[in-house]
Every structure is written in structure tokens, then in C-alpha cells.
Amino acid sequence: MHLVEKANKEAIERILNAQPTLIGIGIAIEEIPGMDIKTILHAGPPITWDKMSGPLRGAIIGGLIYEGLAKTEAEAIALAESGEIKFDPCHHHNAVGPMAGVVTASMPVWIVENRGYGNKAYCTLNEGLGKVLRYGAYSEDVIERLKWIEKTLAPVLKEALTLAGPIDLKSMIAQVVMMGDEAHNRNKAGTSLFIRELAPHIILTSFANDEKAAVLRFIHSNDHFFLNLSMPACKATLDPAGEVKYSTLVYAMARNGTEFGIRVAGLGDRWFTAPAEIIDGLFFPGFTAEDANPDIGDSVITETTGIGGFAMAAAPAIVQFVGGTPQDAMNFSKTMYEITEAENNAYKIPVLNFRGTATGINLLKVVETGILPIINTGIAHKDPGVGQVGAGLVRPPMKCFEDALEAFVALMEEEGIID
Amino acid sequence: MNKINPLFKKELKVVNVGLKSFATDLKQQDIQVIHVDWRPPAGGNERMAKLLNKLK
């Protein structure tokens, strides 16, 4: 239908013309629209406390302790149950969060501006792997690390960024895809490029040498540091496409650990949800599939933009972390062209003769072909307080797309565009 | 049938559409076969196929 095709052309142009740029670091309550001390943001579609999975509950318990709103686990649970705390998706506040995706008022956040369209996106700073808040861990060392991020890491990086000036994340992501990252579960090149960009400016900040050294050591020790930059870059890229009426492009996919949700441009802010899937993956020593929580996190915003699982052919080494073979990685990237509208103008895969990554998931193509987007992802333990137990591959439930198609056709009928 | 019989006296080159097991069987008998990964629209889900048609 011409109307839908025209809308999709407009939406894909908005995605391809996006210019996500890192412009600074701020504090969540000061920067994120609609944020206050009693609001906790989380990954995925909306969810109430009683339906939250273990890792999301764990991260919220940790968030309440971190904010000083509760002193103990029991106090935090009582407060969460009381109804005094407002739980809201990151996506409703121009933000994204990996895994549990918990953002509280005092947390420092990256500020990314889409210079093509003027919109902004926010994300916290990555804490590292293993026992961390985003995987639902909330022990004393987890809270201490969050405090260090707030008091040292973020201020040092903020000053360094002021000295460095804005950083073009689109160019940086284009480079990391050429260097063997796919910017979701492999961020070695991204983290390295980022530290290379900022190190000269970190040295020139007004902080003590031991603080500067601690910042550089922390980033160096955390291969996933760049994830929390690629994610808001993708969020900032996609949001303008979400405003194109009659477009069937998917502009958000996200999971809260209980449900998977998608949003379609022509259907505005509505979420189409279904129970989150269990991830097929590789587990850390001592853990099995029995320990796994269902799919969780906003990091699937990378796949929605055409990187992550869609760019796995560019990052064959990732199969050692998420499972499968390099040939599988190649096949995943190639298959995604069947369900997308365009080839990316910046993110290109060398081994596919520099073909642009499959970009712009079209709801109609997903339902017609039965091919679901491929996602690579971390696996959280199902119990609060444990942390990450592995990584693997997963797909969204088809029901999200089928329900969205029903709603899209209903909308077109209501508006008298079709019979 | 008369017209088709000579075909079986030649070397067969098969394009298999749909179910992969047909192609696998032929391969096991050393017959050249190309498999086309084809599925009916919406995987045969009539309701979804009908909705998709409305938008065409």
C-alpha cells in the first residue's frame, strides 16, 4: 500500500539520517524528563512489582538502598510493595537501560543528542560484568561501586568530555563494526576506541592522579563499557522514526524479564507484549539453564537499529560468548535483510563486501516471512542478588508482531483507509 | 507419462521448494538438488495472511 510504503520510507530516512552524538554526563533527576526521587526506571515494557522477575526486583532493591530510601533488603521490599515508588519504563523517559535497566534519581547518565533531529537519549554508566546491579545484584560491594561511579568516575569523565567536546557516536559505532564488535555483547573495540579518545583529556582534568588512574583502570577492565553508549545512540536514532504515522517499522523492542514488548511507529506509544523467552546460550561454570531468568533488558535497542545480532557477521568472535559458529553469525546477519527496509549507510560489514547492516525492522515482513529478529544477550540469574550467569541467543515472541499487525489493520479500518 | 519418461533417463537436476527433507533424501542418493527455503505467507496462518492482504 502506497501510504504505508511512503511512511516507511520517511521512517527509514529518519533512522539513516540520525547523528547520535555524546554531549555530556548529567544526573538522572536533573536531566531525564519526568524523573524524581520516588521514580525508578526499569527496562522493557511497563510492569508492576508483583509481576517483576528476580533480577529486576534485585536491581530495584539495590536502587532503593543506593538512594538511601531503604537501609536493608526488607525495608526496600516493603517500600517497593507500598505503592509509594513509581515504576516506569526507561523508554517512557527517552532512556534505555541494559538488563534490569534500573535508573534512580542520583545516578549519573550519559547524554546523547541526535544532531539530525534534536532529540536526546540517556543511559547510566556501565558497571562491569558479573555481580552488578543491572543483573539484580545488590550486595554492599555493588552499592559501593555505584557510589564510586557517582562520586569519581562520572565527575572525571564529565570534565574530560567538556575538554574533549562532543563525540560522534555514529562514526565510532561504524568503526567498531569494522573492528569486530557488534556493539551489543561485544564491545572490546568500542571500549578501546572510547578510552583512546578520552584518555588525553582525562589526564588534563583537575582530579588527583590516583582518581584519574582508577578511572582509566576501570574502563580498561570492563569490555562492556561502550555498551551504555551504543544503546542510547540507538535509542536517539530510533525515536524520531517512532513519530511517523502509518509506518510499520518497529522503533523499540525491550524486555523487563517477564515480558517482551515492541512498539511500532504507526501505532505510537502502545506496547505489544508477550511472555519473554528463555535464552539459548552458554553458561558460566557452575550455572545451567535451570538458573536462567527469561530474556531481560533494553539492550535489544541495538538490534532494532541494525547492529547487535543483526551485525554478528562483523563480529564472528562473539560466538565464543553467546554460542553457535562463525557461519551461524554470518547466516543471522544475512537473514535479517529479509525483514528489514534498508541497508545501513554507516554500519557496514567487511566480510559481506561492506554491505550495510540490515536496518529498520518491518512488522509486515516479520509476519509474512515468519522470520523473527535475532538477538544476542546476557543471561541473568532468576534469583535477585546473584548476577550474570551466561550469554546467548534469543528471538522475540511472534505474538508481539501478530498483535501489532491486528492493531495496525484495525487502525487503518477505523480511519477509513481500508475496508 | 510417455513424455516424462525420457526425463528419468537423463541426469536429474532438482530444485526443491518448501520441505527440506525432500532435498535431504535426494542428496543422500547423490542427486544434485538446490533447496529453496520457502514458506507460505505468515507460515500458513490464515488470519495473519488475510490481514497482510488488506494492506497490499
Whether A285 and A307 share a structural domain = yes
Neighbours of B39 (CB within 10 A): 13
Number of domain units in chain B: 1
CATH code at A314? 3.90.1700.10
In angstroms, the separation between the Cα of residue B22 and the nearest Cα of chain A is 21
Number of domain units in chain A: 2
- Which of helix, strand or coil describes residue A39? strand
Residue A62's pLDDT is 96
Task: For CA atoms A176, A181, A183, A189, give the dihedral sign.
Answer: negative
CATH code at A186? 3.90.1710.10
**Where would I find the H helices in A179-251?**
188-203, 209-220, 227-238
Structure confidence at residue B1 as a pLDDT band (50, 70, 90): low
Structural domain boundaries enclosing B33: 5-54
Q: Does residue A98 lie in a domain region?
A: yes
Identify which of B48, B54, B56 has the shortest CB distance to residue A367. Answer: B48
Average pLDDT, chain B: 89
Q: Does residue A135 lie in a domain region?
A: yes
Residue B15 has pLDDT above 90, yes or no: yes
Mean per-residue pLDDT for A358-383?
A: 96
Instruction: For cell 568516575, name the residue.
Output: A153
Residue A329's pLDDT is 95
Q: Which residues of A touch B54 (CB under 8 A)?
A: 409, 412, 418-419
Q: Which backbone phi and psi does A254 adopt, to 5 degrees?
A: -160, 155
Whether A129 and A158 share a structural domain = yes
- Do the beta carbons of residue A24 and residue A158 sit within 8 Å? yes
Q: Does residue A268 lie in a domain region?
A: yes
Question: Could you tell me which residues come within 8 angstroms of residue A309 by beta carbon, excluding any fewer than 6 positions away?
Answer: A182, A184, A302, A303, A332, A336, A373, A374, A375, A376, A393
Q: Which residues of A touch B36 (CB under 8 A)?
A: none
Q: Does residue A10 lie in a domain region?
A: no
Percent of chain A beyond pLDDT 90?
Answer: 95
Contact map slice: A 382-411 vs B, CB within 8 A: 402, 405-406, 408-409
Whether A303 and A189 share a structural domain = no
In angstroms, the separation between the Cα of residue B50 and the nearest Cα of chain A is 10
Residue-wise pLDDT tens digits, A51-82: 999 999 999 999 999 999 999 999 999 999 99
Percent of chain B beyond pLDDT 90?
Answer: 61
Does an H or E element contain A331, and which?
helix A326-335
Mean per-residue pLDDT for A18-24?
A: 98
Inter-chain contact A406–B51, Cβ cutoff 8 Å?
yes
Inter-chain contact B43–A370, Cβ cutoff 8 Å?
yes
Residue A198's pLDDT is 97
- Do the beta carbons of residue A159 and residue A205 sit within 8 Å? yes
Task: For CA atoms A199, A180, A378, A288, give the dihedral sign.
Answer: negative
Structure confidence at residue B4 as a pLDDT band (50, 70, 90): confident
CA distances from A65 to A39, A133, A386 (A): 14, 11, 17
In angstroms, the separation between the Cα of residue B3 and the nearest Cα of chain A is 37
Compute the distance between CA of residue A398 and CA of residue A390 in angstroms, rounded to an integer: 24
Inter-chain contact A405–B54, Cβ cutoff 8 Å?
no
Whether A182 and A306 share a structural domain = no
Interface of B with A (CB under 8 A): 39, 41-43, 45, 48, 51-52, 54-56
Compute the distance between CA of residue A129 and CA of residue A142 in angstroms, rounded to an integer: 11
Compute the distance between CA of residue A396 and CA of residue A405 in angstroms, rounded to an integer: 15
Task: For CA atoms A44, A301, A100, A229, give the dihedral sign.
Answer: negative
Residue-wise pLDDT tens digits, A205-264: 999 999 999 999 999 999 999 999 999 999 999 999 999 999 999 999 999 999 999 999
Structural domain boundaries enclosing A216: 20-231
- Which of helix, strand or coil describes residue A346? strand
Task: For CA atoms A311, A315, A284, A229, give the dihedral sign.
Answer: negative
Q: Which backbone phi and psi does B8 adopt, to 5 degrees?
A: -75, -10
Under 8 Å CB pairs connecting chains A and B tally to 31
In angstroms, the separation between the Cα of residue A249 and the nearest Cα of chain B is 14
Residue A181's pLDDT is 97
Compute the distance between CA of residue A207 and CA of residue A205 in angstroms, rounded to an integer: 6
Q: Does residue A12 lie in a domain region?
A: no
Mode of pairing for the β-strands spanning A296-297 and A20-27: unpaired
In angstroms, the separation between the Cα of residue A406 and the nearest Cα of chain B is 7
Whether A227 and A245 share a structural domain = no
Inter-chain contact B51–A1, Cβ cutoff 8 Å?
no
Residue A84 has pLDDT above 90, yes or no: yes
Residue-wise pLDDT tens digits, A131-181: 899 999 999 999 999 999 999 999 999 999 999 999 999 999 999 999 999
- Tell me how many degrees the CA angle A176-A120-A58 measures, rounded to the nearest 5: 80
Identify which of B42, B48, B55 has the shortest CB distance to residue A4. Answer: B55
Whether A72 and A208 share a structural domain = yes
Inter-chain contact A412–B39, Cβ cutoff 8 Å?
no
